[in-house]
Chain A
Amino acid sequence: EVQLVQSGAEVKKPGESLRISCKGSGYSFTTYWINWVRQMPGKGLEWMGRIDPVDSYTDYSPSFRGHVTISTDTSITTAYLQWGSLKASDTAMYYCTRQEKVGLTGTRWWFDPWGQGTLVTVSS
């Protein structure tokens, strides 16, 4: 069974750093991009960025570039989303999700499956 299992909920203070994780299993980890999606309380989905586990190439939404860092450790089939300095406005649920690569440069533009989500709460 293909699964993405995320790390548990976090409560942090503004200015603190944080790294959350997403472990893939049941498939070839390097054959798929890992994407991160934010859902603020009571709001819709926002695409943050993605990483190719083969070479760690990343794409970021302009809304998130410079504020978060996406990385992977292929030896443990795990992707990460990291903040250097959290803000209260980072309070949200964060999902990782898989996106299939096609050939050398192509991509499927849909996401399946999704991790169960990691709730990040930033409050003083």
Chain B
Amino acid sequence: QSALTQPASVSGSPGQSITFSCTAASSDVGGYNYVSWYQQHPGKAPKLIIYDVNSRPSGVSNRFSGSKSGNTASLTISGLQAEDEAEYFCSSHTSASTLVLFGGGTILSVL
């Protein structure tokens, strides 16, 4: 069981906006602004889409945005497109000895 909890799946229609949640079990994660999000298409390696809660790497669409409130981080995708269908993982630094936590992942279906 991951210390970062994500819903197993979400779905949306093309053009909609959708938000994923990522909730930390411990408060130390909430104290860091080190949440990142990764997109993984089937059979492919993960790709960084958000870092430090709300920063986007060069080349990532501005339809992706991130935020955090307390121990819960969120990823929002606006203007859903078919190509957004993938699994999304959140990650955070933790002061625990494991140093890095990943969420269990959320599968996005674009209907």
Contacts and interface: CB of A to CB of B under 8 A. Distances in A.
A109 B100 contact: yes
Interface residues of A, number: 23
A59 interface: yes
Contacts of B99: 47, 50, 59, 61
B89 A62 contact: no
B25 to A, nearest CB: 15
Contacts of B105: 44-45
Contacts of A29: none
A117 interface: yes
A113 B39 CA distance: 12
B48 A116 contact: no
A47 B48 contact: no
B102 A46 contact: yes
Contacts of B46: 37, 45, 95, 97, 111, 114
Contacts of B34: 109-110
B89 A45 contact: yes
Contacts of B102: 37, 44-47
B45 A115 contact: yes
A112 B57 CA distance: 9
Contacts of B91: 45, 47, 109-111
A100 to B, nearest CB: 10
B98 interface: yes
Interface of A: 35, 37, 44-47, 50, 59, 61-63, 95, 97, 108-117
Given A47-B100, A111-B48, A113-B47, 10 more contacts: A37-B102, A45-B105, A62-B98, A95-B45, A109-B92, A111-B38, A112-B48, A113-B48, A114-B45, A114-B46
